[in-house]
């Protein structure tokens, strides 16, 4: 990244409800950027949008501008203002790193402008991969256990890969997006994943006896 005097910073702000104030995010991100001696070149802000939404207009614009090389560091008040899940965080930070764009949180230890911050990001990525693998393994074990007991997890004629669906859900995708990609209805997906959770609870209960 460039030296402080030439560092171009942008900030991303998000408030999900009408009663949440954006002032705090604005003040603290501005204070950090000023303290670091960076130049604030852009502010991206999504109002009244939940962090779990797949599409956020200003976030999409920010990522597009990052690809155009318009700034060197992204500053947020807190990481959950930007990321919708751990997997989404890992993927987004990996893309920013490939673009030579750093990431800094005002209220957390996330700061990829430092070696320690980059190390923390690698640890977060490793944990996310471990979590994803564990979820997939538990889903497959639960499905296998259900089949051995004769439990039907799907209607005839409907081919739904529950392990894949659970993996996609763990990555932060919405039910609507997953259902669309797998070619099933949202209600069908909800029901199947809820049944899967019940199976997993049964597996965990049996294992603890």
Domain boundaries, the chain: 4-113, 130-208
Burial classification of residue 81, based on how many CB atoms lie within 10 Å of its CB (0-12 exposed, 13-18 middle, 19 or more buried)? buried
CATH superfamily of domain region 4-113: Resolvase, N-terminal catalytic domain (3.40.50.1390)
pLDDT tens track of the chain, all 209 residues? 656 668 999 999 988 765 456 788 999 999 999 999 999 999 999 987 664 555 789 999 999 999 999 999 999 999 888 887 777 888 899 999 999 999 999 998 889 999 888 888 778 767 666 666 777 777 777 777 777 776 665 554 445 677 788 878 777 788 888 888 888 888 878 777 776 565 445 444 444 44
| pLDDT (0 to 100) of residue 158 | 46
Helices (H), the chain: 23-36, 57-67, 86-98, 115-148, 162-170, 175-182, 186-208
User: Does the pTM of the predicted model rise above 0.95?
Assistant: no
C-alpha–C-alpha distance, residues 151 and 64, integer Å: 47
List active site positions: 16
| pLDDT (0 to 100) of residue 136 | 72
> Which are the contacts of 196, defined by CB distance < 8 A and separation ≥ 6?
139, 142, 143, 153, 162, 166
């Amino acid at each position: 990244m460039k030296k402080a005097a030439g560092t171009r910073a942008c900030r991303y702000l998000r408030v999900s409800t009408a009663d949440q104030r954006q002032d705090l995010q604005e003040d603290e991100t501005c204070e950090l950027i000023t303290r670091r001696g960076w130049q604030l070149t852009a502010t991206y802000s999504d109002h009244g949008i939940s962090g779990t939404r797949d599409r956020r207009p200003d976030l999409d614009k920010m990522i597009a501008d990052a690809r155009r090389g318009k700034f060197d560091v992204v500053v947020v008040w807190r990481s959950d203002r930007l990321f919708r899940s751990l997997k989404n965080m890992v993927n987004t930070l990996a893309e920013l790193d490939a673009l030579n764009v750093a990431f800094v949180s005002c209220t957390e230890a996330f700061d990829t402008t430092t070696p320690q911050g980059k190390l923390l990001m690698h640890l977060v990525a490793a944990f996310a991969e471990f979590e994803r693998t564990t979820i997939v393994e538990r889903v497959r074990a639960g499905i296998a256990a259900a089949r051995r007991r004769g439990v039907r997890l799907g209607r005839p004629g409907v081919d739904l890969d529950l392990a894949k669906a659970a993996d996609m859900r763990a990555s932060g995708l919405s039910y609507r997006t997953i259902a669309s990609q797998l070619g099933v209805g949202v209600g069908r997906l909800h029901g199947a994943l809820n049944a899967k959770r019940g199976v997993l609870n049964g597996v965990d209960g049996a294992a603890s006896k």
